[in-house]
Structure 1
Amino acid sequence: MSATVIVTGAAGGMGIPTAKRFAAQGRPLLLCDVSAQKLDAFAEELRADGATVTTLVGDISAPSYPQDLIDALGDAPLHALVHTAGLSPTMADPLRILEVNYFATERLVAALLPRFAEGGCAVLLSSMSGYLLTDPAMVTAVRDMVAGKGREDVDRFAVNPGMGYTLSKRAVMALVGREAAAFGARGLRICSIAPGFIDTPMSRAEREESEQMRQMITMTPAGRLGLGDEIASVAEFLCSAGASYVSGCDIPVDGGILGRLGF
């Protein structure tokens, strides 16, 4: 029996190509999204091509969500989690962004850890913005929060949605480092991918609101926006045997912009 792949944010700009890649492998899929209409339409498209697809509609930050996901998975072994769901700065206030992007992710990882088949992998989505957090006090606040020492300092620094987003994504990177040992003890791996400027509906909304973002895009050495499938291809690799010694780390997929900025 082929083990299942869970994709969150499955009806989004990175979730769709990710699901298509694993469907092409013949993997059963458990696709999750907050939009029932978009998710159902995409699931039917995949089923028409022969994929085995189960869906779960819901808000990943809801207290019941981890158990809902476990119930939807049933007795199926789990090969991979590719967690693309999240909020960008134009979508919510800073504390809501922290709740969805970090705390819900932390709960999801904890709930699914016992369900992975040996050799499985969790891939989380961070962001290149996490590297831009250079204030030592902010970096320490994130580290302490992920270490379980409280979130008060992080909340204090989350003065606007953009900063809430950056803090949340830096925390996702730290979560991957924290959880690598627990995953490794079970013969599993956990990594994150830091997308740069990717051409997705979410990113387009951000570009319309941010002159700084538009300027930074012009500095990208690749000379263009990335594609959702260019994130999906890295996720597919990280979940493969070819990446069997890759864990506990973040992989920038950013067209070279972080290097150009000196990170």
Structure 2
Amino acid sequence: MPHAAEPQGAIIITGAAGGMGRPAAIRFAKRGQPLILCDISAERLDALAAELAGSGAPVVTLAGDLSAPDFPARLLALVGDQEIAAVVHTAGLSPTMADGDRVLEVNYFATERLVDALAPRMAEGGCAVLISSSSGYMIPAPEMIAAVKAMVDGGGREAVAAFLQSPQTAYPISKLGVMKLVAKESVRFGQRGARIVSIAPGFIDTEMSRAEAQASEMMRAMMQRVPLQRMGLGDEIASVAEFLCSPAASYISGCDIKVDGGSLGEMGL
């Protein structure tokens, strides 16, 4: 049956101090439910927690590297005996931030471990929202797409090892992996009456995107072709995450939502 009310429990936001995580934290704080904010920067987390102190939502923070083996256990320790009402997972690396192996580790394998740890704790009616990327639709070679599917189906890093020499290639591979993980995990989430969805942002005005644009002439050219003639805002991603975690989206699961100002359509994708 559809859920008429928001599920109760903890709300987890990763990358909470970043360009998409911060507006998500502000939006979800209005629900008044316990917030667990995660980010690699303790200083920025503390500043955000102070900002949300008057929101009425209990806030705890977890500073650390998402890809650390003990990160899921540390997070579950903060969840305690609560169920999890919502997850908004925005943490990740862009191509200019690391080599191909590291990009894949953080963006895909750390995400896979996080989802595996949180799935058994999801509340009925709860939802996990992962951030993919419009770049996941731009992989040109069928053999690369097949390799990503093999990775998600249990083949691990070895399935895509031939394509990791460049972070510019590893990044879309990692994000297509997120999309395929969402489709796969929708079965397990559905058994709990919970949902899992991904959002594919296009060109969003964040610190990370600005650094990428500065480093890539191709990206700057693609930004000029956005049909809506502007970059998106972090809050425009957060608002979609808020909707997806609401009862209004109670039959949306196992899929990817494009939020790209029409860019993929303009490319014929």
* TM-score category (smaller protein): over 0.9
Q: In the alignment, is residue 122 of structure 1 matched against residue 128 of structure 2? A: yes
Report deviation, 1:149. 2.3
Q: 1:189 to 1:241 in 2, by over 3 A?
A: same
Q: Partner residue of 1:10?
A: 16
The reply to whether residue 53 of structure 1 matches residue 68 of structure 2 is no
Change (3 A) 1:112 1:75: same
Structure-1 separation of matches of 2:193 and 2:156: 30
Question: 1:234 — aligned with what?
Answer: 240
Aligned to 1:131: 137
Q: Does 1:98 align with 2:104?
A: yes
Could you tell me which residue of structure 1 aligns to residue 166 of structure 2? 160
CA RMSD of aligned residues (A): 1.0
- Please list the CA deviations of residues 11-42 of structure 1 after superposition, one character each: whole Å capped at 9, or x if unmatched: 00000000111111222200000000001111
Alignment match, 1:260: 266
Q: Which runs of 5+ in 2 are unaligned?
A: 1-6
Q: Give TM-score scaled by structure 1 length.
A: 0.98
Post-superposition CA distance 1:112-161 (Å, at most 9, x none): 01111110000000000000012001000000010002322412112211
Aligned mate of 2:202, from 168, 191, 196: 196
Runs of 5+ in structure 1 lacking a partner? none
Matches within 5 A, 1:207-246: 207-246=213-252
Q: Is residue 249 from structure 1 mapped to residue 255 from structure 2 by the alignment?
A: yes
Q: What is the letter of the counterpart of residue 255 of structure 2?
A: C
Secondary structure of the equivalent of 1:31? strand
* Alignment-mate amino acid for residue 161 of structure 2: D
Cα distance in 2 for residues equivalent to 1:210 and 1:216:
10
Contact kept in structure 1, 2:213 and 2:219, CA below 8 Å: yes
Amino acid in the other structure paired with 1:39: L
CA contact (8 A) 2:184 2:254 kept: yes
Q: Assess if the C-alpha contact under 8 Å between 1:6 and 1:31 holds in 2.
A: yes
